[in-house]
Amino acid sequence: MLLLNKRRARQVSHNKHNCPEQNGKCHRLTWLFPIGGLVALIWFLVRVIPKPSRAAYPCQRMAFPLASGFVIWLTGAAGSIAALRGAKRSLAQSRRLLCLILITVSVGCIWLAQSITTEEVLLAEEPVANAPVGTAKGIHPGRVVWVHDPDATDWDGPGDGHWWQSSHTDQAVVEQMMSRAIRGLSGEPTCPAAWDKLFKYFNRTHGKGDAGYKPGEKIIVKVNFVGCIRIWGRGPVAGPEDYNLRRADYMNTSPQMIIALLRQLVTEAGVKEADITVGDTLCYFPNEFYDMCHAKFPNVTYLEYLGKFGRTAAKSSSVPLYWSTSDAEGKKTDYVPASYVEADYLINLANLKSHNDYAGVTLCAKNHYGSLIRRPPGSGEYYDMHKDLPRPKPGMGRYRPLVDLIGHKHIGGKTLLYLIDGLYAGKHAKERAPRKFIGPPFNGDWSSSLFASQDPVAIDSVGFDFLWAEWDDAPHWSGTSDYLVEAALADNPPSGTFYDPDHEGNAARLVSLGVHERWNNPTAKQYSRNLGRDKGIELVKLTAAKSIPAL
């Protein structure tokens, strides 16, 4: 493991031994941080105040950390000096207690500024390539289909409308991507045959016999609308306008991808609109997305937090989820949403994002943090799922609540299909707009991708590799991939946890939930099955120039 200081303000000592008077370099370096910080602050304000959307521009993303660090440093220094001057006056007036308090405040200001501008992060070791663990799932075990088509996206970034508008995301191309993903995953040449094969595999492996989809069976689609989560500064809802997007360029599941999936289910798989539910239990379904989806599929149930303006409110069931950790003892029980319990199948439609607050990455597994009814924030009455994520608890071989979520019989256990919307990837939650990918084959363009799999561990492993290769921050935190190892080895995990989210107490340990491995390198992007082995992951690459392989 490597301990890396990510944002430490550089300090230069200036005593006579290490900085002689005849050498003026050290003296000039003393002013490097405040001058650079001031210039960055001025540049940021001049550019962003007239046009706030510029805050997402790459140059402003670079300037903001230095500018904010300068403001914090300046505030801490000013507070410390003011408190110290007050302490001197108090001492002169023989007010010793007040003097002591002010000295403490002075030191505290410096300490607080230093602690805010200092972020120590434990980073993971370089990965071992092509060393799979766990049991691969799917018609073609461990298969993950990656469809990449740059024609799907045409957006110049913030200031050029919004990425989800039809003028910037091509619905027809996205629907072609969804079709190719479904056919590539099953190996069938047509979409109806592909869906029939997916349903039959699911039912066969879930004790339902060799049966396809039956009319009347219900499907729930879990999307990721975290940019519309209710706890993010939203007041009371007075009218429909309160459902407008407030983070207009945030990396939510795209309406084009939702529409493409709904069209596949209704037109190709033969599912009635009324038997489909789509949404996120913790968030509002924004007007901009709802209008686009509802116009094409008016009889679908659109699930959300409150259930206003034609949407349906998420409700709790009586089916509990038991966390496989002693930290949950004495806490209130979590319950699965009623829509999940009532459904026969679940489709996990996640996003390709890093998670720069807690998790390192947020893919299909983390998408289920939005699969529970909202608990009172900060109440302490419920088990805190975030405290066992890698940022607060780094390292490998630890209990990870993501395993309980993808292992629960009504959540991961009902999942027919795992999808990752990678049209516009980004960094949650510290940035409000997506980022372009630099590495090949993206070459400075949007990620413009869709991933599909029947293996929840394999698809997140592939998404993790893409994010690891592209960004050197959150995906590289120590423990970010720990949940993948724990899930792959859920029957005998390195942490020793008895994962059993369906029962109170240790009754039935989960089996392996899928296969995990790291690719050989970011250029070739090959996993074990791509190299001719009979275990591990197989990445099927469908670029705009390639057709569905004959399988």
| Whole-number pLDDT of residue 106 | 72
| Whole-number pLDDT of residue 51 | 56
| Whole-number pLDDT of residue 101 | 84
Give the strand pairing for 415-428 and 345-355. parallel
Task: Give the separation between CA 408 and CA 412, rounded to whole angstroms.
Answer: 6
Backbone dihedral angles phi then psi of residue 219, each to the nearest 5 degrees: -130, 135
Task: Convert the pLDDT of each residue in 272-320 to its tens digit.
Answer: 999 999 999 999 999 999 999 999 999 999 999 999 999 999 999 999 9
Nearest to 430 by CA among 354, 504, 497: 354
pLDDT at position 496 over 70: yes
Higher pLDDT, 550 or 80: 80
pLDDT at position 438 over 90: yes
pLDDT at position 551 over 90: no
Query: Are the CB atoms for 225 and 283 separated by under 8 Å?
Result: yes
- Structure tokens given for 478: 């120590």
Task: Give the separation between CA 248 and CA 254, rounded to whole angstroms.
Answer: 12
Residue linked to tokens 């390639």: 546
Nearest to 528 by CA among 509, 515, 546: 515
| Whole-number pLDDT of residue 416 | 98
pLDDT band at 12 (very low <50, low <70, confident <90, very high): very low
- Structure tokens given for 211: 């049966």
Query: Are the CB atoms for 450 and 421 separated by under 8 Å?
Result: yes
Exposure b/e, 241-270, CB count within 10 A at least 16 = b: ebbebebbbbbbbbbbbbbbbbbbbbebbe
Query: What's the half-sphere exposure (Cβ side, CA atoms, 13 Å) at 455?
Result: 33
Query: What's the half-sphere exposure (Cβ side, CA atoms, 13 Å) at 240?
Result: 7
- Average pLDDT estimate for 139-150: 98
Query: What's the half-sphere exposure (Cβ side, CA atoms, 13 Å) at 225?
Result: 30
Query: What's the half-sphere exposure (Cβ side, CA atoms, 13 Å) at 368?
Result: 29
pLDDT at position 233 over 70: no
Higher pLDDT, 428 or 108: 428
- Structure tokens given for 472: 């050197």
pLDDT band at 527 (very low <50, low <70, confident <90, very high): very high
Task: Give the separation between CA 430 and CA 519, rounded to whole angstroms.
Answer: 28
- Average pLDDT estimate for 434-440: 95
Task: Give the separation between CA 270 and CA 495, rounded to whole angstroms.
Answer: 43
Residue 107: other Cβ atoms inside 10 A:
13
Across-strand partners of 426? 353
pLDDT at position 108 over 80: no
Query: Are the CB atoms for 99 and 475 separated by under 8 Å?
Result: no
Query: Are the CB atoms for 147 and 421 separated by under 8 Å?
Result: no
Q: What is the dihedral sign for C-alpha 428, 431, 435, 437?
A: negative
| Whole-number pLDDT of residue 19 | 39
Higher pLDDT, 534 or 38: 534
Mean pLDDT lowest among 65-69, 128-132, 454-458:
65-69
Query: What percentage of the chain exceeds 70 in pLDDT?
Result: 83
pLDDT band at 208 (very low <50, low <70, confident <90, very high): very high
pLDDT at position 127 over 90: no
Q: What's the CA dihedral at 484, 213, 281, 326 to 10 degrees?
A: -40
**Over the chain, what is the mean pLDDT?**
87
Amino acid at 224: N
Task: Convert the pLDDT of each residue in 363-402 to its tens digit.
Answer: 999 999 999 887 765 668 999 999 999 999 999 999 999 9
Higher pLDDT, 528 or 545: 528
pLDDT band at 7 (very low <50, low <70, confident <90, very high): very low
Residue 328: other Cβ atoms inside 10 A:
19
pLDDT at position 2 over 70: no
Mean pLDDT lowest among 16-20, 108-112, 444-448:
16-20
| Whole-number pLDDT of residue 92 | 78
pLDDT band at 67 (very low <50, low <70, confident <90, very high): low
pLDDT band at 91 (very low <50, low <70, confident <90, very high): confident
Task: Give the separation between CA 205 and CA 269, rounded to whole angstroms.
Answer: 19
